[in-house]
């Protein structure tokens, strides 16, 4: 309840929290902390948001921190498929 009320006060003064999960990486508003190899989505897609970001009237004043997806190379993709298929 408190977070909701605080969010309403922030919006009143032009501060917005943003979450680009599952969207393409934008260097202007995002800060990639590390890359995660995954072929389930296109490379450069935001995987997880580690720290929320905030904008003040369409200008970023606190960049968010996130994990960014990168393409697996062919050998790693084959190893990943074979490891997921076996019950150890």
Longest CA span, the chain: 55
Return d(Cα 51, Cα 84) in angstroms, integer: 30
Read off the CATH number of the domain in which 39 is found: 2.30.22.10
Task: Give how far Cα 6 sits from Cα of 15, 49, 52, Å.
Answer: 11, 21, 15
CA-only gyration radius of the chain, Å: 17
Structural domains in the chain (count): 1
pTM, two decimals, is: 0.56
**Would you give the DSSP letter of residue 5?**
H
Write down the pLDDT at residue 87. 47
* Segment 51-67, tens digit of pLDDT: 888 888 878 877 778 88
Count CA atoms closer than 13 A to 45's CA, side-chain side.
12
The residue segments making up the domain with residue 16 are 2-85
């Amino acid at each position: 309840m408190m977070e909701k009320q605080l969010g309403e006060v922030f919006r009143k003064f032009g501060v917005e929290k943003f979450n680009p999960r599952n969207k393409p990486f934008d260097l202007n508003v995002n800060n990639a902390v590390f890359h995660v190899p995954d072929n389930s989505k296109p490379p450069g897609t935001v995987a997880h948001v580690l720290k929320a970001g905030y904008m003040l009237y369409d200008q970023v004043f606190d960049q968010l921190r996130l994990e960014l997806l990168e393409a697996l190379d062919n050998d790693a993709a084959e190893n990943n498929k074979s490891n997921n298929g076996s019950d150890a």
